[in-house]
Structure 1
Amino acid sequence: MAKRSLEEQVLVIWKTWRARAFYRVVQLVIRVIGRLYLRTKVVGAERLKSDGAFIIASVHRSNLDAPLVNSRCPRIVRSLAKREMFTGGIGTWVSAMLGSFPVQRGAGDRRSVTAAIDLLKRGEPLLVFPEGTRQAGPQVGEIFGGAAFLAARTGVPVLPVGIAGTEEAMPPKAKSLKRVRVSIVVGEPLLIPDGGNKRLSASERNEFTAHLRSAMQAAMDEAVELAAARRARRNE
């Protein structure tokens, strides 16, 4: 019997009741930490409670971003994660049970794209980081066109998300979690023109990607402003 690929292993783990139970326990723990320790405030949280599939297109400043955003969605959110997170054995089990799917960074990864499309067509939410790897500061960097591609193929809405505070709470290589207030803004959903189930031309994909980047920047600006206002009120 042929050995299963990493992608096949992850899909098998996803289907187990243990994976769903583990996800829910971790989701609850993260939500409690987010509320009580990081004082996380979310603007537009109701948009994460929509029925059907949608793509969460979030800025990426910290490893806290995905857990904090996903904890505010009542459903299980799948995430595309760097392949290095799936270290084999217990590492692969934990990453898979957290809803992650392996992606080969810096290369076309047909299997991950196919899995993402299948998940969306099944009606599941999916988190992506259009900037790719973690960035720094309040400006949204250049983003990849993956969200536009997935939205075009499935017709699902894309939710732009800005986050302030996670970069300070858990910067790269941090050994502990600092108590910094986190602000998250979930913007208005964006839709591909003329619906989905089609292939975008390069110009159409670039246009939608530029629109998404602007929406992510607007959400980021609002999150930064909210964070500053909260700090000012605390210091009064």
Structure 2
Amino acid sequence: MIDDSPPQPARRWYDFCHLSVNLYFSVFHSYRVLTGWRMPATGPVLILANHASFLDPPVIGGALPRHIFYLARRTLFRNAMFRRLIRSVNAIPVDQENNGVGGLKASVEVLRLGEPLLVFPEGTRSPSGEMGPFMPGVHLILKKCPEAMVLPVGVSGAHEALSMGRKLPTFSPMFLPPRKGALCVSVGRPLPGSVLAAMPRQDAVERMTGMVRAELERARAVNRSRSAV
């Protein structure tokens, strides 16, 4: 049985992983982070992002200065070795066949502890790389924890680097002109969760969708301009 409670972070190990993924993505994927706005340095933060690749969690984690927690589907925890790895970097299992009740409970617990939490509101990876509709559960998280700040993040290039069904990534080395496989992350303006929690569910979901889509398009524009050089 897998524990649904938030893992206890080993700070030095997380810092090592943070440094390692930044180095890897910078060297092999021409990694670039756009940070026009700062992530809140303290307090609960609900990070919302598009999801097109298994690379998304480390790509986003590497772009943010704080130790983040994130939700991952329970099937990823079946392999004992991989389970230990992702738990060590703060992954929380979500049972998608049970309406995500365990994941919701753990999400609220993480935020109430004042920690940052990454969720992918689409619920699964996009097979095409295009952003899909957001699920309403993210609004329920904010209803239960309106004190959280909401941070929109857009990731461009992850689908091209490692799309669904592929086992090996496409590289875009830093010493060559950026091409397919180059990664860009755009971090947007934080919004108080209380604003979204007070809105009707559908309106809030549409607002959050627009926030993330704007950052995705910003990241895509940078990748297009880099590949055109």
**Does the TM-score normalized on the shorter chain lie above 0.5?**
yes
- 105 and 167 in structure 1: CA distance in 2 versus 1, 3 angstrom threshold: same
Question: Which segments of 5 or more consecutive residues in structure 2 lack a partner in the other structure?
Answer: 172-180
- 55 and 97 in structure 1: CA distance in 2 versus 1, 3 angstrom threshold: same
Are the counterparts in 1 of residues 37 and 190 from structure 2 also a CA contact under 8 Å? no
Match of 1:15 among 8, 27, 41: 8
SS of 1:220 mapped into structure 2: helix
1:189 alignment partner in structure 2? 190
Structure 1 CA distance, aligned partners of 2:153 and 2:101? 26
Query: By how many angstroms is 1:174 displaced?
Result: 2.2
**Number of residue-to-residue matches in the alignment:** 219
Matched, 1:119 2:115: no
* Structure 2 residue identity aligned to 1:178: T
Question: Which segments of 5 or more consecutive residues in structure 1 lack a partner in the other structure?
Answer: none
Instruction: Give a deviation string over 1:121-176, Cα, whole Å, max 9, x none.
Output: 11100000001111144642111122222122212121121111111111123232
Q: What is the TM-score normalised by the length of structure 1?
A: 0.84
Structure 2 CA distance, aligned partners of 1:77 and 1:50? 12
Per mean C-alpha deviation after superposition, the further-off stretch among 34-43 and 45-54 is 45-54
* Structure 1 residue identity aligned to 2:115: E
1:163 alignment partner in structure 2? 155
- 110 and 138 in structure 1: CA distance in 2 versus 1, 3 angstrom threshold: closer
Match of 2:96 among 74, 97, 105: 105
Aligned alpha-carbon RMSD (Å) = 2.2
Are the counterparts in 2 of residues 161 and 216 from structure 1 also a CA contact under 8 Å? yes
Q: What is the TM-score normalised by the length of structure 2?
A: 0.86
- 81 and 134 in structure 1: CA distance in 2 versus 1, 3 angstrom threshold: same
Match of 2:137 among 146, 159, 166: 146
2:174 alignment partner in structure 1? none
Query: By how many angstroms is 1:113 displaced?
Result: 1.3
Percent identity of equivalent pairs: 25
Larger Rg: 1
